[in-house]
Structure 1
Amino acid sequence: MDLTVAVPVRNEEKNLPMCLQAIGVDFAQSIFVIDSGSTDATAEVARSHGAQLIDFEWDGYFPKKRNWFLRYHTPRTKWVLFLDADEILSPAVKKEIAAALSDTRHQGFLLSYSNYFLGRRLRGGYPLRKMALFRVGEIEYERIDEDRWSQCDMEVHEHPILNGSVGLIRSRIDHRDLRGIDSYMRKHNEYAAWEANRMHVARSSSSSLSNHPWSQKQRFKYSLLSSKFGGFIYFLGSYFLMGGWRDGSVGFAFAMLKAGYFTQIACRLKELETNRLR
């Protein structure tokens, strides 16, 4: 296909082999691994699977990793697919993507994912979808001028900005992190700090959050974060409304940790606002 696959990484020697093996050698014209100075065997894994390795060092400002790749290593293909190292393409997903890209009017596609937690595929909880497949040269991830208040060198919850239509790939990519619960907790601590700072900057720069060009999903999320009960509301929706109870104790633990994540963001946000007023 007229497609480039880009995999941004940092210390992903455990997850990357399955990700690259699942992509295969005949799915895309090019496979790039964009590495942020890994200290493990990530680079060797990428080379051994035939991927092209690109080194990235973030200076704390725009652009981050994905936008940097799009700007300074612009793929020569018509389409680009961004995968995280813990995301595994199934044959069904690859087949559906191939069919979709063969004749489409869309600028981008939402991809669907299956979450794994504690080694188990979750049946319940909120559905995970994100836009990670789009036309080269027409779309970038939203710009957030962080001015060094973040340690996240890759666009995490920034969304691609596009004006055209969006399609949907219904077959699910497996989102399966093999690095364990410690990695999960560290990652979400980092994400929580980023989310709180972003919300703090947005509140400081505007009297109304409705002035920000956020997607409907983002507006819902940030309105939830504005409430001290956001974590509890998330838990009720994920575990009861969206069927997290079907996954038993694992589903309960997953919903509780995610609820704690939302609560942590709210607490961090409150702390930032309190410090600003002192």
Structure 2
Amino acid sequence: MPDIPVSVIIMTRNESKNIVACLESLAGFDEIFVVDSGSDDDTVALAAAHGATVVPFAWNGRYPKKKQWCLESLPFSHDWLLYVDADERLTPDCAAEIADAMASDARRDGYFVGYDYVFMDTTLRFGRRIYKLVLFNRHKGRFLDYRDHDIANMWEVEGHYQPKIEGTTAILKSRMIHRDHEGLFHFFERHNRYSDWEAALRERGLYDADLETQPGPRTLLKRIWMRMPCKGLVIFVYAYFVRLGFLDGRAGFDYALAQAFYFWQIGIKQRELRRRARGVS
């Protein structure tokens, strides 16, 4: 079978524990870029040894951030891009579905992909699902500027929002796998940083801009979710009971609780920002 005519982008910094498995899962793609931010482990050497084109990246503290910089700066051979994190793995079924989509005359301008999360060495089959818009035509997509440089713990990569697509989108039936070998410290550190970012954007009224990237029923559902109180409790009930997370055993309980804690963090950090705005210490 010929290589899939899609350019893959993997953004890295010290991902030696993850990068090999990630690249091996992408072996059927024609072009892979690893865009590295000064790794001081074996990430770069491992990526090059597995055939990826390694591109160094140094953020200048301004927009564009890393995802949009890749979109604007890399010498792509193809119009279609797939953004993959180093701790993610493409399944053979997902690769085959992407190949079919590229060969179809009816393809959309972008595709959401769902993820099976490996948490505490357990592949979660139930619970709340994560979908990301990671496959799109580069002429139809861009990452929005959120004016977030002053937010505490902000960094070079755009937050966990989706690219804006000028066109139609769909959801792939097959899924990718998310498995991070860095452990729970890295997991909670990342969520602590994300919750700082999301709380600040919510308070500035900027987070709703993300809704522009999710047309159709997903937009309506997210608008309702944005205005719902007690999000931590709601997300736990939804993930653990409605979405049958309890069928994943202890890992399902722990993951649902971690998701609830994340949304609780956002809420309490929003209240902290309001207190500071009123001059209350």
| TM-score relative to the length of structure 2 | 0.89
Tell me, yes or no, if the aligned pair for 1:12 and 1:42 is still in contact at 8 Å: yes
Q: What are structure 2's unaligned runs of at least 5 residues?
A: none
**1:160: which partner in 2?**
163
**2:49: which partner in 1?**
48
SS of 1:145 mapped into structure 2: coil
Q: 2:175 is matched with which residue: 153, 172, 176?
A: 172
**1:146: which partner in 2?**
148
SS of 2:8 mapped into structure 1: strand
Tell me, yes or no, if the aligned pair for 1:152 and 1:190 is still in contact at 8 Å: no
Tell me, yes or no, if the aligned pair for 1:65 and 1:153 is still in contact at 8 Å: yes
Mapped partners of 1:210, 1:107: distance in 2:
20
SS of 1:260 mapped into structure 2: helix
**2:122: which partner in 1?**
120
Give the alignment of 1:3-42 within 5 angstroms.
3-24=6-27, 27-42=28-43
**Is 1:200 aligned with 2:203?**
yes
Task: Tell me the CA shift for residue 218 of structure 1.
Answer: 4.5
Task: Tell me the CA shift for residue 39 of structure 1.
Answer: 2.3
Tell me, yes or no, if the aligned pair for 2:36 and 2:56 is still in contact at 8 Å: yes
Tell me, yes or no, if the aligned pair for 2:211 and 2:222 is still in contact at 8 Å: no
**2:260: which partner in 1?**
259
Give the alignment of 1:17-96 within 5 angstroms.
17-24=20-27, 27-96=28-97
Aligned CA distance change for structure 1 residues 72 and 176 (closer, same or farther; 3 Å): same
Task: Tell me the CA shift for residue 239 of structure 1.
Answer: 0.4
**Is 1:219 aligned with 2:220?**
no
What do the CA deviations read for 1:44-69 (whole angstroms, capped 9, x no partner)?
11111111111222233321111001
Task: Tell me the CA shift for residue 212 of structure 1.
Answer: 7.4
Percent of pairs with identical residues: 32
What do the CA deviations read for 1:102-130 (whole angstroms, capped 9, x no partner)?
01341011112111100110111112211
**1:184: which partner in 2?**
187
**Residues 254-263 or 163-172, more deviating:** 163-172
What do the CA deviations read for 1:117-156 (whole angstroms, capped 9, x no partner)?
0011011111221110001222112221113325232123
Q: Report the AA paired with residue 135 of structure 1.
A: N
**1:106: which partner in 2?**
108
Q: Report the AA paired with residue 111 of structure 1.
A: V
Aligned CA distance change for structure 1 residues 128 and 274 (closer, same or farther; 3 Å): same
Mapped partners of 1:39, 1:269: distance in 2:
35
Q: Report the AA paired with residue 112 of structure 1.
A: G
SS of 1:2 mapped into structure 2: strand
Q: Report the AA paired with residue 80 of structure 1.
A: L
Q: What are structure 1's unaligned runs of at least 5 residues?
A: none
Aligned CA distance change for structure 1 residues 144 and 186 (closer, same or farther; 3 Å): same
Aligned CA distance change for structure 1 residues 214 and 4 (closer, same or farther; 3 Å): closer
Aligned CA distance change for structure 1 residues 102 and 214 (closer, same or farther; 3 Å): closer
Number of paired residues?
Answer: 269
**Is 1:2 aligned with 2:5?**
yes
What do the CA deviations read for 1:190-239 (whole angstroms, capped 9, x no partner)?
11111111112227x9xxx6997464254345334xx3x21011101110
Tell me, yes or no, if the aligned pair for 1:60 and 1:148 is still in contact at 8 Å: no
RMSD (Å) for aligned C-alpha atoms: 2.0
SS of 1:83 mapped into structure 2: strand
Tell me, yes or no, if the aligned pair for 1:75 and 1:136 is still in contact at 8 Å: no
Tell me, yes or no, if the aligned pair for 1:105 and 1:165 is still in contact at 8 Å: no
Aligned CA distance change for structure 1 residues 211 and 264 (closer, same or farther; 3 Å): closer
Aligned CA distance change for structure 1 residues 50 and 221 (closer, same or farther; 3 Å): farther
